[in-house]
Amino acid sequence: MKNNTSVIVISCDKYSDLWKPFFTLFWQYWPINTSKVYLGSNFLKYNDSRVETITIGEDKNWSHGLLEIVKRIDTPYIILMLEDFFLRKRVNINDILMCVEALKNLDGNMLRLVPRPRPYKPVKGYPFLGYIKSTSPFRVSTQGTLWRKSALLSLIKDGESIWEFELNGTERSRDDKGYYCVWKPVLTYEHHVIERGKWFRSEARKFGAMNIGCDFSRRPIMSMKETFIWHIKKLISYPQSLVPWLLRQKIKKRIKNQISSIQ
């Protein structure tokens, strides 16, 4: 695995306060010496001999940074992670190895290591995997994914934000086969710890008590009001998730066209 798969943690200098807690937990829960580990940033470097920092200079846009980082990786497969998704418990190296081997044998492009959203039907001969339909939302994901390097490079378009890359990259991938997802989580995180530059209150309380290097002087913690509003928005958005994704996209497009015609 060390010869053919690298772990890349995508970040930037303004999130450097998360590097210490992220990697403290990463090395606690990730099998040591099983893969090369890289951190992508602008100018700052993380002081850890187990992590190679790739600096790209000025923060032009998210996709530009991703492109520059991925081009410098010399392994054919890449596990892509984000710095605000902290591991919560030990990662099973056998699960990682099975996923790498499966993607290689299937000549696949991407394998999502967290089932959000879940796949739609099993892959014959690989009971731990499912197919991601060409019409599925977030078919292209930055959230805990195993990529064939060449496939990832082919989808990156300079000038896009992380959200645009996921949405537009999904559209660009429609004609491609070889997108898979696990049925059960392989990477052991639950969700992100930062929202719009602020710590979730629950995550700040949890990880702050673990003495893993969280520096709460570097960024604020959500207020009670902000936390309440965030939960309300999640609650309101839930009924929308019950509507098929393609239908939602058609409705949004029609509304956008109607607004444009009025203007």
Q: Phi-psi category of 138—alpha, beta or left, where left has phi over 0 and alpha has psi -120 to 50?
A: left
The sign one gets for the Cα dihedral 137, 249, 198, 169 is positive
Residue 25: predicted pLDDT: 97
Q: How far is CA 230 from CA 80, 221, 222, in A?
A: 27, 13, 10
Q: For the ranges 90-94, 101-105, 136-140, 185-189, which has the lowest average pLDDT?
A: 136-140
Instruction: Kindly tell me if the per-residue pLDDT of 256 is higher than 70.
Output: no
Q: What residue ranges do the domains of the chain occupy?
A: 5-182, 195-262
Nearest-CA neighbor of 168 among 180, 177, 159? Answer: 159
Tell me the CA distances in angstroms from 148 to 33, 47, 105, 233, one per residue in order: 21, 28, 12, 35
pLDDT surpasses 90 at 200: yes
Q: Which of 63-72, 81-90, 94-103, 169-178 has the lowest mean pLDDT?
A: 169-178
Instruction: Give the separation between CA 12 and CA 58, rounded to whole angstroms.
Output: 10
β-strand pairing of 36-41 with 194-195: unpaired
Residue 263 to residue 255: CA distance in whole angstroms: 12
**Does position 112 have pLDDT exceeding 90, yes or no?**
yes
How far apart, in whole angstroms, are the C-alpha atoms of residue 114 and residue 110? 12
C-alpha dihedral over 107, 77, 193, 208, to 10 degrees?
140
> Mean pLDDT score of the chain, rounded to an integer?
90
pLDDT value for 261? 67
Q: Which residues contact residue 81 at a Cβ distance below 8 angstroms, ignoring those fewer than 6 apart?
A: 7, 8, 9, 10, 144, 187
pLDDT score at 66: 95
User: Phi, psi at residue 155, to the nearest 5°?
Assistant: -95, -20
3-class DSSP state of 90: coil
Per-residue confidence (pLDDT) for residue 136, from 0 to 100: 85
Where does the pLDDT of residue 118 fall: very low under 50, low under 70, confident under 90, or very high at 90 and above?
A: confident
- pLDDT of 79: 96
Nearest Cα neighbor of 38 from 75, 84, 85 is: 75
Question: Considering the domain 5-182 in this protein, what is its CATH number?
Answer: 3.90.550.10
Rounded (10°) angle between helices 62-71 and 162-172: 70
d(CA 141, CA 130): 15
> Which long-range contacts does 123-127 make (Cβ < 8 Å, 24+ apart)?
123/180, 126/102
Percent above pLDDT 70 for the chain: 89
Instruction: Please give the share of the chain, as a percent, with pLDDT higher than 90.
Output: 72
Q: Rounded to a whole number, what is the distance in angstroms from the first to the last CA of the chain?
A: 55
Record the tokens describing residue 177, joined without a space. Answer: 């086969």
The pLDDT of residue 251: 67
Q: Tell me the pLDDT tens digit for each residue of 212-238.
A: 999 999 999 999 999 998 888 877 765
